[in-house]
């Protein structure tokens, strides 16, 4: 269990974290001093991770579409019209993402915001938080969000919402997200951003200077630190070896007929980030569920010839180094980490909620 959780602060706010996953939002709210009562998710692999790192919180493993509000009230001892209750809803976002994926599989989770709305309507918590991909806000053919905002209006909530960059809120990534903070008991003001010029970078979080020893691709770390890196094919090893350190991209080997990828021949201006290295002196790109893969984004280590490790990805997501992830499957680990709300962002949200609660 992470040793850095603070004692509960002198405030009465309590939270329920819907679609909680591995606990990024819950952990950040706890860091702010908010008591997290529990998280709701149907992922079997996240249960142990969540409960070990969020002490005192219950993991309600249940499909939200079949979970009833009275059942949730019973299991977490919730009351209706609780002015000090926070509902956080960060539902799966693949359907609304701009990343090219098969949307068929993600369609069934695309409208979970409506399920979240069902619980808000029943309990009428004092505060509501939604964090999601920008596509939820930007898609012109999407009435899901507009319907949800109309619902909040009808229930007497005021809110601040829009697209934010998590890099302005303590996260070393250019991670663009849709964020909504609403209340029916307090006036919501904009969340303060970091001062200009204070951008966090990759070098602030990973590297030998930050406790990450050099490793080779394919390294397996059996300890809880999980400094494990995916193995690369022989050709991908050759590709990253000739990619310049700290920010190099695939154009460095575009002229090599053996290394160039057929889909990119003569198309050096598209998808420039794939197979690229992170830059030491810049924020990381968005840490996705596939950050352990060199071919799925700019996930190459700034100077070592490999993709970043599991723990490096978690650290760039601002999980503490002693946060315990309880699965040994690399893809599952990456999904737990990449799907999470960065705890540093969640902590800032929690601190802001305490501030507006206290007037």
From first to last of its 359 residues, the chain has per-residue pLDDT tens of 564 545 444 579 999 999 999 999 999 999 999 999 999 999 999 999 999 999 999 999 999 999 999 999 999 999 999 999 999 998 875 543 444 444 444 434 457 999 999 999 999 999 999 999 998 887 655 678 999 999 999 999 999 999 999 999 999 999 999 999 999 999 999 999 998 877 899 999 999 999 999 999 999 999 999 999 999 999 999 999 999 999 999 999 988 999 998 877 777 777 778 999 999 999 999 999 999 999 999 999 999 999 999 999 999 999 999 999 998 799 999 999 999 999 999 999 999 999 999 98
Is 93 considered catalytic here?
Answer: yes
Number of neighbours of residue 164 by Cβ within 10 angstroms:
19
CB 135 within 8 A of CB 96: yes
CB 176 within 8 A of CB 199: no
- What is the CATH code of the structural domain delimited by 206-317? 3.90.120.10
Asked if 14-197+341-357 and 206-317 have one fold, the answer is no
The pLDDT of residue 107:
38
The pLDDT of residue 85:
98
Alpha helices in 180-309 (DSSP H): 234-241
Largest CA distance in the chain: 66
The pLDDT of residue 2:
67
Domain ranges of the chain: 14-197+341-357, 206-317
* Cα–Cα distance for residue pair 341/39, rounded to 1 Å: 13
The CATH number of 14-197+341-357, from 3.40.50.1370, 3.40.50.150, 3.40.50.11030, 3.40.640.10, is 3.40.50.150
* Cα–Cα distance for residue pair 15/37, rounded to 1 Å: 6
Given 20, 46, 90, 93, the catalytic residue: 93
The pLDDT of residue 103:
41
End-to-end Cα separation, the chain, in angstroms: 33
């Amino acid at each position: 269990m992470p040793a850095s959780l603070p004692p509960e602060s002198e405030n009465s706010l309590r939270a329920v974290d819907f679609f909680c996953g591995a606990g990024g939002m819950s952990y950040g709210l706890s860091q702010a001093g908010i008591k997290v009562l529990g998280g709701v998710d149907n992922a079997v692999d996240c249960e142990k991770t969540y409960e070990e790192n969020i002490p005192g919180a219950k993991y309600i493993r249940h499909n939200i579409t079949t979970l009833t509000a009275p059942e949730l009230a019973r299991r977490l001892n919730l009351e209706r019209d609780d002015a000090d209750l926070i509902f956080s809803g960060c539902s799966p976002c693949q359907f609304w993402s701009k990343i090219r994926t098969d949307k068929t599989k993600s369609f069934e989770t695309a409208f979970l915001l409506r399920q979240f709305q069902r619980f808000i309507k029943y309990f009428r918590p004092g505060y509501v938080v939604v964090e999601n991909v920008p596509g939820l806000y930007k898609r012109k053919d999407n009435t899901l969000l507009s319907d949800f905002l109309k619902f909040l209006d009808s229930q007497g909530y005021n809110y601040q919402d829009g697209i934010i960059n998590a890099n302005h809120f303590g996260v070393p990534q250019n991670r663009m997200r849709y964020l909504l903070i609403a209340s029916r008991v307090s006036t919501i003001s904009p969340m303060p951003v970091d001062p200009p010029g204070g951008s966090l970078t990759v070098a602030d979080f990973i590297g030998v200077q930050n406790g990450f020893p050099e490793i080779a691709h394919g390294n397996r770390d059996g300890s809880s630190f999980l400094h494990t890196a995916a193995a690369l094919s022989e050709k991908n090893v050759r590709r990253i070896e000739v990619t310049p350190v700290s920010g190099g991209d695939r154009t460095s080997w575009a002229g090599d007929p053996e290394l160039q990828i057929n889909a990119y021949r003569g198309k050096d201006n598209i998808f420039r980030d794939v197979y690229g290295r992170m830059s030491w002196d810049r924020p990381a790109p968005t840490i996705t569920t596939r950050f352990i893969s060199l071919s799925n984004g700019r996930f190459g280590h700034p100077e070592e010839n490999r993709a970043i490790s599991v723990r490096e990805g978690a650290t760039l997501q601002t999980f503490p180094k002693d946060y315990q992830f309880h699965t040994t499957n690399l893809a599952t680990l990456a999904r737990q980490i990449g799907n999470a709300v960065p705890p540093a962002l969640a902590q800032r949200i929690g601190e802001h909620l305490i501030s507006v609660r206290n007037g």
